[in-house]
Amino acid sequence: MDRVTANELDRLARARQAVQGIGDAALRSNQHRAEVLAVALEAAGRGDLNDDDWSAAAAVAHQLVGSAGTFGYTRASKLARELEHFLIAAESGPSELAAARAALGVISLDLRAAPDDEQF
């Protein structure tokens, strides 16, 4: 078996640190996306979202779907997909809006915890 050199260990440590930095930046972005979606849902509750606002919020939810899933937040990704579908439908009946808010609440909690996949 080959011995690992100090140089190789240092490169591995730097690579791991770089990946961790990318994951940390993605987490901050996803937390911000959740905040943007909370504002959009509040506006939807007041009837203050126009068609462009619904589309913009759906795009933010779509970004959250992909990024959360990529970085190990499986449940948050799944719930963000449901939220995206709600926003695409642009129907803010009381029960749909309550479900969207509940999903976003769970997403926000998940993004405060460790990812589901320990490799991240």
Show the domain range for 40.
6-110
| pLDDT attached to residue 118 | 52
pLDDT of residue 93: 87
> Tokens for 94?
């009381």
Number of domains in the chain: 1
In a domain, 75, yes or no: yes
pLDDT of the chain, 120 residues: tens digit per residue = 568 898 999 999 999 999 999 999 999 999 999 999 999 999 999 999 999 999 999 999 999 999 999 999 999 999 999 999 999 998 778 999 999 999 999 999 999 999 886 544
**Is 116 a domain residue?**
no
87 domain residue, yes or no: yes
Tell the burial category of 13 from Cβ atoms under 10 Å away from its Cβ (0-12, 13-18, 19+).
Answer: exposed
DSSP state at residue 4: P
> Could you tell me the CA-to-CA distances from 56 to 34, 68, 72, 114 in Å, in that order?
13, 18, 25, 28
